[in-house]
Structure 1
């Protein structure tokens, strides 16, 4: 028996709509996660579907959405529209939400979290989940995208491959050491930016990612429920 259902939603964004999918736990839920994809693909990217399904099966609502385009400012605006949608929803009332994404989607999520300290969503946002965060362009380790990360005060979890060509391990660990909020990193040994690991099945890698994400979220929300 399936422990969650899926609901397609249209999220208002200016004069158009964003396509979204809510993975809805059958049992009572109080917290949610928003996820979006990288520069390519869409909300049906296998990593996002896997994380969303796993979280929903463990009682955490998950909303993933599609936003095409390579303009980061545009992606951030779209993410804010999704945050407004879920925070004001009467159909899916939540006590708090974790913002996340993969690759460029993680950059958009981090921008929204960083900006939240200056708006009404500060208390609603519980943390930031970064899957394959693109710390720098390929082979351009001198062009770091860490400045915004250093301003974030919310809890952060990075899940990255130790062989990610867009996230040198030592550079991310250095950035984490300078971040203001409680920050963790889980390295997938030998994984590339796309989380491919030679000699391991994709399902096995995704299972490792899912378990780590759930553990981190549960560790943060458990004190809030007590």
Structure 2
């Protein structure tokens, strides 16, 4: 199995706590993963996904950034992307940015801004777990502005009963997106991916397998 490597990533006058889940064989692609508004990088869903990806040969770097300010969270995410890009220990061809809930909004914001700044193709795609498209009961205000500008492939994994991402609304936004996109609905799951009658491990197995198969499709497409 992979071994976790703890690192501290400089961020302004502070440090971001992060953990690499490193595959046994050298990885050419990585995933950067972060948490939602609550919790940290040790949120069980993130730990599960990171371990799964590493055991299937994909490097995973997950990090903690507290704070409810989306601009601050995005800035931290960008710092982590630059850190991994310049890393001598892990020379990667590209990374996929991934986040849960608010973390996926931060990831989308980073991709939009980096794509406007430079043309390099280090960022290969975006994985949104429980993307918070709107506040509960506030469907009129959609947080879709970054999604509509993104060009790289995007995977959404959302619960069909997510109170912050109504099914029809996300499908409507996806239809307007320029990027290649896929939505995988977890049947009857809420925003926290809880499903009555299913264990957390069972739900995570479905999510992890979906994320990995999508990553593999997109990495293979690039090598054709």
**Consecutive unaligned residues in structure 2, runs of 5 or more:** none
Contact kept? 1:80, 1:112, Cα under 8 Å: yes
Contact kept? 1:161, 1:187, Cα under 8 Å: yes
1:113-143 CA-to-partner distances (Å, cap 9, x unmatched) read: 1112123474100000000000000111111
Contact kept? 1:22, 1:64, Cα under 8 Å: yes
1:141-166 CA-to-partner distances (Å, cap 9, x unmatched) read: 11110122111111000000000000
- Counterpart residue number, 1:87: 85
- What CA distance in whole angstroms lies between the structure 2 residues aligned with 1:199 and 1:207? 15
- Counterpart residue number, 1:14: 12
Of the candidates 119, 123, 126, which is equivalent to residue 124 of structure 2? 126
Shift of 1:199: 0.4
- What CA distance in whole angstroms lies between the structure 2 residues aligned with 1:138 and 1:176? 20
- Counterpart residue number, 1:114: 112
Contact kept? 1:116, 1:122, Cα under 8 Å: no
- What CA distance in whole angstroms lies between the structure 1 residues aligned with 2:222 and 2:188? 35
Structure 1 consecutive aligned stretches of length 4 or more whose deviation exceeds 3 Å: none
- Counterpart residue number, 1:187: 185
- Counterpart residue number, 1:207: 205
Q: CA RMSD in A?
A: 0.9
**Consecutive unaligned residues in structure 1, runs of 5 or more:** none
1:5-27 CA-to-partner distances (Å, cap 9, x unmatched) read: 11000001011110000000011
Instruction: Write the mapping of 1:38-49 to structure 2, written as runs, cut at 5 A.
Output: 38-49=36-47
1:224 and 2:222 correspond: yes
1:76-113 CA-to-partner distances (Å, cap 9, x unmatched) read: 11001100100000011100000010000000000011
- What CA distance in whole angstroms lies between the structure 2 residues aligned with 1:51 and 1:120? 30
Contact kept? 1:150, 1:180, Cα under 8 Å: yes
1:154 and 2:180 correspond: no
Of the candidates 61, 64, 75, which is equivalent to residue 62 of structure 2? 64
- What CA distance in whole angstroms lies between the structure 2 residues aligned with 1:115 and 1:154? 13
- Counterpart residue number, 1:96: 94
Shift of 1:224: 2.8
- What CA distance in whole angstroms lies between the structure 2 residues aligned with 1:122 and 1:133? 26
- What CA distance in whole angstroms lies between the structure 2 residues aligned with 1:106 and 1:180? 18
Shift of 1:68: 0.3
- Counterpart residue number, 1:27: 25
1:52-91 CA-to-partner distances (Å, cap 9, x unmatched) read: 0000000000000000000001001100110010000001
